[in-house]
Structure 1
Amino acid sequence: MTILPIRIYGDPVLHEPAEPVGEITDEIRALVRDMYETMDLAPGVGLAGPQVGVNKRLFVYSYEEEDGTAHRGVAIDPELWLAPAVPESLDALEEDEEEGCLSVPGERFALRRSERALLRARDIEGEPFEIAAEGWFARILQHEYDHLDGVIYVDRLKLPLWKQAFKVMRKRGWNTPGCSWTPGVDDLDA
């Protein structure tokens, strides 16, 4: 297995819609194995093809609920449906709505997401599956799906959080092409 470099915000592949995977080849299977390895080492709860420089509609995820229910898999050529917003979604953002991204490493910002999502995709064997997710797992699916459409969560932030995020990225040089980091190799705190 190979640990893959993770592209940082300024990389153009992160800002364009990904192409369908289509046929699941040995190359795709190897990519998915490497993505799991990279995600686990980062550590992260999800990783999309564009984040490792592959402009394909697939992502891996790994999340354990408080009750011990584990969710781990790959979504190939997914479709995602979201529950509509509820009236309390107009309230101020809460700390438990903060999320991060391996393509904006070390930073966390509050972002309102739908509480429920329905994912339909294919697994590594090409078999269709469906997941109805709630809470944090729904957030993870929405976050990774956004990557496939060329959207990074900081692009969705409201002012003043958007300004804060882009100030940090500008200071670190992350808003320019060519930035990446490799889990287990690069020290992002240096």
Structure 2
Amino acid sequence: MAILEILEVPHPGLRAVAKPVAAVDDSIRAIVSDMFDTMYDARGIGLAATQVAIEQRIVVIDLQEPESDEKDAKPVRVPHVFINPEIVSVSDEIASYTEGCLSIPEQYAEVERPARCTIKWLDGDGKAHGQEFDGLMATAIQHEIDHLNGVLFIDHISRLKRDMVLKKLAKARKAA
């Protein structure tokens, strides 16, 4: 178990475009394991390898949704690994979601993205998959694939809102 350092804006590594994973082997599985440990430790629901200074196309996601609608329902871990994920298609329908990011801590903004997307990827054993996602999973996978392409969620909002988010982050860092 290793907790990796999560890069934060304005680190230039967050703008790196990740390279495809050539082969899913034990070294890739070790990276995936460390990424899950890091994501859970940071209380996130998704993490792209570029956020931990690994320029490979690897994403981990676990929405950790509660098992019921009851007030004190415990979240259930359902980890997903996406190696070399690609967006195959997206819906014309748009969904709006308040997004945050471990690389832009404690800052949130409303982002519009396609409501559904079809993704193809390899799992931790190198097996190919393809599936359509909707809801929070569609938002999360699009957000993380953006990271692999050097794009942050604040790139999807207006310049004014982006400047406000970055000023709030700077103020929070100064106070800490």
**TM-score, normalised with respect to structure 2:** 0.86
Partner residue, 2:79: 72
Maintained 8 Å contact 2:91/2:114:
yes
**Following TM superposition, by how much is the alpha carbon of 1:70 offset from its aligned partner in structure 2, in angstroms?**
6.5
% identity of equivalent residues: 33
Change (3 A) 1:113 1:66: farther
CA distance in 1, matches of 2:88, 2:169: 30
Is residue 61–residue 72 contact of structure 1 (8 Å, CA) maintained in 2?
yes
Deviation at 1:162, TM superposition (A): 1.6
Please give the alpha-carbon distance, in whole angstroms, between the structure 2 residues aligned to 1:137 and 1:67: 16
After TM superposition, give the deviation of residue 85 of structure 1 in Å: 3.2
Aligned length: 169
Higher relative contact order (CA 8 A, sep 6+): 1
How do residues 93-112 of structure 1 correspond to structure 2 at under 5 angstroms?
Answer: 97-112=97-112
Separation of aligned partners in 1, 2:142 and 2:124: 20
2:155 & 2:77 partners in 1: Cα distance? 29
Contact 1:32–1:74 (Cα < 8 Å) also in 2: yes
Q: CA deviation at 1:169?
A: 4.0
In structure 1, the residue matched to 2:36 is 36
In 1, Cα distance between equivalents of 2:147 and 2:31: 17
User: Does the aligned pair in 1 maintain the 2:14–2:51 contact within 8 Å?
Assistant: yes
Q: Deviations over 1:134-158 (max 9, x none)?
A: 1111000000000010001011112
Match of 1:144 in 2: 144
Once residues 105 and 88 of structure 2 are traced to their aligned partners in structure 1, the CA distance between those partners, rounded to angstroms, is 27
How far has the Cα of 1:160 moved from its partner?
Answer: 2.9
Most deviating of 58-67 and 114-123: 58-67
SS at match of 2:13: helix
Shift of 1:129: 1.0
Determine if the alignment matches structure 1 residue 155 to structure 2 residue 155.
yes
**Structure 2: unaligned runs, 5 residues or longer:** 69-75
CA distance in structure 1 between the partners assigned to 2:86 and 2:78 by the alignment:
18
Q: CA deviation at 1:38?
A: 0.8
8 Å CA contact retained: 2:46, 2:144: yes
Question: Following TM superposition, by how much is the alpha carbon of 1:64 offset from its aligned partner in structure 2, in angstroms?
Answer: 4.3
- Map of 1:83 onto structure 2: 90
Structure-to-structure mapping, 1:1-190, within 5 angstroms:
1-65=1-65, 71-86=78-93, 89=94, 97-171=97-171, 190=176
